[in-house]
């Protein structure tokens, strides 16, 4: 059953080997002969619950997926950084001594950011050739950006024969994304990509940084990702606006109770009593975050008990709250949610990652995945004229070196 819709491990590794060969070839063709080439991978991630809770010091439930970025890498000895993306057939060349964000460099700002942060820890490479290939849909809210940061960092550390603790690596990539690249994000993506493990969801408290693995029953249900193929232009500006709105809402609750340092600290009672004094928009943002944290805790408990129907119900409730209160949806995602909800065997669906376009993630009974794929694709096409990419994904392991 599983093989009919998800890539199995053998297929996956044969495909990975081919990608490595193509990358090594491209690297030598472009950048000439040099040191031996080594290979690395880092996965994308999917969030099962916890929409915009991470930068509010709240809770998340997420997993790494079996779509990834593979990198071929080798040291240089002239202080240069040469990067190549096989997907885009695009090359960026620079110098490791003057790493600066440059909008013209696009995707290459991520490897640059990871190397910039490593250099701050005195982990400086003598030069690097890096060629990458990804199978994570770009702009789909599945964290191809965190995967690119993490695969670069993993390659650099291995080539230097150095190591950092998991949390050092998570924080390093988080700084690279928020400070160097400039998106004021939380820690969801970097944490999940670095800590990923097969068939296991990760339940994280973003304040205490305590986390627990929660087994995901891959023999009973699958995670299906539907890419709406639209949107995301709003992410940069709207995301920063949400971060600022949450800060404003915190100031309000803090005036009444000094212990409130983030929306994470606001109780549902305080929300009911003090929320209505806030401007409508801030009340909505606060209500989403406060209730979403409860839903994440309930979702983790349901998954731990193996109650997938309950998990699905919570995902649907999360969708409604993120659409109505946090307002991260767009008409195409609303449409997809409505279509998905009508397919028997779909337990729940929500918006992946930041929102404003990109992907939906659905929890679907294994036997219903084929029907889901056909129905949702046909109806979405009929109603919007767009063909959505629909991919079933397994929860998979974290970054690693691929042995040659
Ligand atoms: C993006 C950010 C994450 C998180 C999600 C929304 O993926 O990078 O830190 O805030 O949006 O939950």
pLDDT, tens digit only, all 404 positions of the chain: 233 344 556 667 889 999 999 999 999 999 999 999 999 999 999 999 999 999 999 999 999 999 999 999 999 999 999 999 999 999 999 999 999 999 999 999 999 999 999 999 999 999 999 999 999 988 889 999 999 999 999 999 999 999 999 999 999 999 999 999 998 899 999 999 999 999 999 999 999 999 999 999 999 999 999 999 988 777 888 999 999 999 999 999 999 999 999 999 999 999 999 999 999 999 999 999 999 999 999 999 999 999 999 999 999 999 999 999 999 999 999 999 999 999 999 999 999 999 999 999 999 999 999 999 999 999 999 999 999 999 999 999 999 999 86
Active site residues: 189
Task: Output the CA–CA distances (angstroms, integers) from residue 132 to 3, 76, 88, in the order listed.
Answer: 27, 17, 10
**What is the structure's pLDDT at 10?**
63
**What is the structure's pLDDT at 235?**
82
- Rounded CA gap, 382 and 395, in Å? 31
**What is the structure's pLDDT at 343?**
97
Among 283, 363, 340, 400, smallest CA distance to 61 is for: 363
**184: CA distance to ligand 1 center in Å?**
9
Question: 230-250 burial string, b = 16+ CB within 10 Å, else e?
Answer: bbbeebeebbeebbebbeebb
**53: CA distance to ligand 1 center in Å?**
8
| Shortest-distance atom of ligand 1 to CA 52 | 12
Q: Is the CB of 314 under 6 A from ligand 1?
A: no
**What is the structure's pLDDT at 1?**
28
Contact 198, 324 (CB under 8 A): no
Contact 377, 128 (CB under 8 A): no
Q: Is the CB of 186 under 6 A from ligand 1?
A: yes
Mutate to test the pocket of ligand 1, among 51, 189, 359 (most ligand atoms within 8 A of CB): 189
- Rounded CA gap, 324 and 333, in Å? 13
Mutate to test the pocket of ligand 1, among 149, 174, 186, 350 (most ligand atoms within 8 A of CB): 186
Among 93, 72, 82, 214, smallest CA distance to 154 is for: 72
**What is the structure's pLDDT at 404?**
64
**237: CA distance to ligand 1 center in Å?**
13
Q: Is 383 left (phi over 0), alpha (psi -120 to 50) or beta?
A: alpha
Burial class, 184, CB count within 10 angstroms (exposed 0-12 / middle 13-18 / buried 19+)? middle
| Shortest-distance atom of ligand 1 to CA 53 | 12
Q: Which two tokens stand for residue 174?
A: 């988080």
- For the entire predicted model, the pTM comes to 0.95
Nearest residue (by CA) to ligand 1, atom 8, is 185
Cβ neighbours of residue 318 under 8 Å, at least 6 residues apart? 49, 51, 292, 295, 299, 350
**143: CA distance to ligand 1 center in Å?**
9
Count CB neighbours of 306 within 10 A: 11
Residue in the block written with tokens 């929102």? 355
| Shortest-distance atom of ligand 1 to CA 354 | 11
């Amino acid at each position: 059953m599983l093989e009919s819709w998800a890539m199995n491990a053998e297929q996956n590794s044969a495909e990975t080997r081919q990608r490595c060969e193509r990358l090594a070839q491209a690297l030598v063709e472009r950048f000439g002969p040099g040191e031996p080439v080594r290979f690395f991978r880092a996965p994308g991630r999917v969030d099962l619950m916890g929409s915009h809770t991470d930068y509010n010091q709240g809770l998340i439930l997420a997993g790494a997926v079996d779509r990834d970025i593979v990198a071929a890498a080798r040291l240089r000895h002239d202080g240069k950084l040469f990067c190549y993306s096989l997907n885009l057939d695009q090359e960026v060349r620079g110098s490791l001594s003057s790493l600066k964000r440059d909008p013209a460099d696009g995707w290459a700002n991520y490897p640059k950011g990871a190397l910039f942060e490593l250099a701050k820890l005195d982990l400086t490479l003598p030069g690097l050739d890096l060629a990458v290939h990804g199978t994570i849909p770009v702009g789909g809210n599945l964290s191809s950006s965190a995967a690119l940061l993490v695969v670069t960092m993993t390659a650099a550390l291995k080539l230097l024969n150095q190591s950092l603790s998991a949390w050092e690596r998570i924080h390093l990539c988080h700084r690279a994304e928020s400070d160097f690249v400039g998106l004021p994000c939380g820690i969801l993506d970097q944490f999940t990509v670095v800590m990923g493990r097969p068939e296991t969801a990760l339940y994280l408290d973003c304040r205490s940084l305590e986390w627990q693995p929660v087994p995901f029953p891959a023999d009973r249900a699958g995670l299906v990702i539907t890419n709406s193929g639209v949107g995301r232009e709003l992410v940069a500006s709207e995301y920063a606006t949400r971060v600022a709105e949450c800060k404003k809402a915190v100031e309000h609750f803090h005036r009444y109770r000094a212990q409130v340092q983030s929306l994470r600290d606001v109780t549902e009672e305080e929300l009911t009593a003090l929320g209505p004094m806030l401007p409508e928009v801030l009340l909505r943002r606060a209500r989403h975050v406060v209730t979403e944290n409860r839903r994440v805790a309930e979702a983790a408990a349901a998954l731990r008990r193996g109650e997938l129907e309950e998990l699905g119900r919570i995902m649907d409730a999360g969708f409604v709250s993120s659409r109505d209160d946090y307002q991260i949806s767009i008409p195409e995602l609303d449409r997809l949610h409505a279509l998905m909800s009508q397919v028997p065997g779909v337990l729940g669906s929500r918006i992946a990652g930041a929102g404003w376009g990109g992907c939906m993630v659905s929890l679907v009974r294994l036997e219903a995945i084929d029907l889901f794929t056909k129905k949702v694709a046909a109806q979405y096409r009929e109603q919007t004229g767009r063909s959505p990419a629909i991919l079933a994904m397994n929860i998979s392991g974290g970054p690693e070196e691929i042995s040659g």
